[in-house]
Structure 1
């Protein structure tokens, strides 16, 4: 297994692993309860991580012929 695929575990751990620790309403961040902000932040971060994985994956290079 390639090392860049390990990056898929980061959102999984961030969302499900830390959810019991951030399950609270206070403080409010940008007008959202902290739990809702946490989930919204991870939706954005998951997209960023997948974009990084796409750029690092050698199978997505232009000009490669298989």
Structure 2
């Protein structure tokens, strides 16, 4: 189950790895240039990834 922590690399790869590919202005999404939308999207998805890691990581001890 240690491999669940590799999920933390997904936002890093999504934000910085694909930035040269999505670096354009012309398609506007929700009134934002595409590159800005991409960063906002990955900011939200980072929180989702961290929540999944928190729920699935067995080394986190829950206090009752």
> TM-score normalised to the size of structure 2?
0.90
Higher relative contact order (CA 8 A, sep 6+): 2
Superposed, 1:27-46 pairs within 5 Å as: 27-46=27-46
**SS of the residue aligned with 1:26?**
coil
**Any unmatched runs of 5+ in structure 1?**
none
Cα RMSD, aligned residues only: 1.5
Q: Provide runs of 4+ in structure 1 moved above 2 Å.
A: 59-63
**Any unmatched runs of 5+ in structure 2?**
none
**How many residues were matched structurally?**
63
Q: Which has the larger radius of gyration?
A: 1
